[in-house]
Amino acid sequence: MKFEIDKQKDKTIFRLESKSLDHSIAAELKTELVFLQKEVENQFVIDLRDVMKCDSSGLSVLLLSERIEREKGKKLIIKNVNPAVRNLMEIARLDRLFDMK
């Protein structure tokens, strides 16, 4: 699993460099995000520009990330969501939970 972290003054952007957000990377990704989000105090953004497909394990990762931010009193931002992934989020009614840009 490849990713890039861009720490800026007002936000931290986590860019997943994978075509799939699925069961094959979910456990490893959860671990990375938990550690990263615990140390980040500014706005946390997940950039999904490379992700073309997602399954329930991938949605679970995003839900965990959202919960961590909510517990910090912040809102998770997810940007560059592929139409197919956005459709899955809408079907699961998660589009209401996430701030998608």
Show the 3-state SS of the chain. Answer: CCEEEEECCCEEEEEECCCEECCCCHHHHHHHHHHHHHHCCCEEEEECCCCCEECHHHHHHHHHHHHHHHHCCCCCEEECCCHHHHHHHHHCCHHHCCEEC
- Parallel/antiparallel/unpaired status of strands 11-16 and 3-7: antiparallel
CATH of the domain at 48: 3.30.750.24
pLDDT tens track for 77-98:
999 999 999 999 999 999 888 8
Q: Are 30 and 19 in contact (CB under 8 A)?
A: no
pLDDT for 77 equals 96
**Would the pLDDT of 101 be above 90?**
no
pLDDT for 62 equals 97
pLDDT tens track for 59-69:
999 999 999 99
pLDDT tens track for 3-50:
999 999 999 999 999 999 999 999 999 999 999 999 999 999 999 999
Residues in the chain: 101
Tell me how far apart the 2 most distant CA atoms of the chain are, in Å.
Answer: 35
Count structural domains, the chain: 1
Non-local CB neighbours of 68 within 8 Å, separated by 6+ positions:
33, 34, 37, 38
Residue-number span of the structural domain to which 94 is assigned: 3-100
